[in-house]
Amino acid sequence: MSGARIKVVDPNPFITVQDGGRRGAMRYGVSESGPMDWVRYRLARRLVVAPAAFEVGPGGARFAAEGGPVRLAVTGPGFTVRVGEAVLTPPLRLTLEPGETLSLTPGRTGMWAYVTVEGIDFGAPVLGSFATNARTGFGKRDLAGGFACTSVQPAGPEMFDDPYDDKGPIAVLPGPQHHMFSEAIRAQFASEPFRLTDAVDRMGYLLEGPKVEAVSHDIVSDGIVEGAIQVPGSGRPIVQLADRAPTGGYPKIGVVAAADRPRLAQRRPRDEVRMVWSTVEEAHARRRALLKAIDRPAPRVRTTVDAELLARVNLVDGVIRAEK
C-alpha cells in the first residue's frame, strides 16, 4: 500500500524535526542540535523505525493521517495523547486511521515529547542530519503540507513503561575550568538548590540561586559540549543544551552527565534543580543501564481498561458458528 501521509496540524515554533544531531559539524561553527531528551527520543525510534522524530515542546501538537493508516510512537513525560474519545498515556505505539487526528497535550510536568512515524520521508538531510536549529536555519523549517510515509495494517494501541525517572538530583561531572572555583563554591553548588528561570530554550537553561563565583573569568574560548555549565560574571549558571554555540568564553564549573540531561531538560521554569557531583565511572554505568532498558522496552501491564480503548481495539475478528 502507498499514498499515506502524516500532517502537522497548525505547526507552532516548539515543534521541530530532530535526529541524533549534526555530528562533526561544530568544528565548522555549526551547532549540533538533536533532541533535548535523548532517552525519550531514542525510545520513540525504538518503538517505530524512522529516520528522525518530531520533537514537541510545551505548545503541544496535533497530527492527522491522510491516504492510509499510519503507525506512530509517542514518548514524553507528563503528556497526554488523544485520538477521538480515547485518552492514552505515553510511551505508546498506535495506528492512526485516515481522517483521524492525534493530539499531544502537555500536563503539569514535562517539557518535551517525541513522535516517530513509520517510513516517513523528511527529504534530503543537511550536512548529514535532519536536525533543526531555528537560529541558524538548518534543518526542516516548514512543517506545513504533510510528509509521505508508509501505509500500514491497522492495529490496536500498545503501551510501554517509561524507562526513565525524572525525579532526583542532577549528576554533574567536573568541568574543564573546575579548578577556577573554590572548594567552598564547589561544595555550595552541590548542596543548595537552584531554580530554572524563564530564560529556557533549546540553546540552554539559565539557573538562579546561590551565586557561583569563579576565581577568574580570564579564559580562552573553547569548545562547548552538551550539558556544559557555564558561569558568566553574574554568577548565574547556564546549562548549555542541544542548540548550544560551538564555543564559549565563560568558565565551566561542571558538565551534566548524559544520563541526567533528560532529567534537567524536562524541568520547567520555576522548578527546583539540585546538583550532585558524580564520577565518570558512575556516569558511564548509568548511561549503559539506560541504553539497555531502551533497547528492550517493557510492555505496560494495564490494571484498568476503559471503554473507549476497548472500542478502538479489534477484539473479535469475524464470527465462528459452532455446531455439534
163 domain residue, yes or no: no
> Do 127 and 185 fall into the same domain?
no
> Do 144 and 182 fall into the same domain?
no
| pLDDT tens-digit series, residues 199-244 | 999 999 999 999 999 998 889 999 999 999 999 999 999 999 999 9
Q: What is the dihedral of CA 25, 267, 256, 177, to 10 degrees?
A: 90
Q: Provide the residue range defining the domain that includes 201.
A: 170-292
Helix locations, the chain, DSSP H? 38-47, 183-189, 261-265, 280-295, 307-312
> Do 181 and 139 fall into the same domain?
no
318 domain residue, yes or no: no
> Do 12 and 149 fall into the same domain?
yes
> Do 92 and 53 fall into the same domain?
yes
Distance CA 149, CA 139 (A): 19
109 domain residue, yes or no: yes
* Number of domains forming the structure of the chain: 2
| pLDDT tens-digit series, residues 86-126 | 999 999 999 999 999 999 999 999 999 999 999 999 999 99
> Do 206 and 247 fall into the same domain?
yes
> Do 143 and 174 fall into the same domain?
no
Q: What is the reported pTM? A: 0.91
pLDDT at 135: 86
> Do 129 and 101 fall into the same domain?
yes
* Integer angstrom CA distances of residue 272 from 19, 167, 193, 261: 29, 11, 7, 15
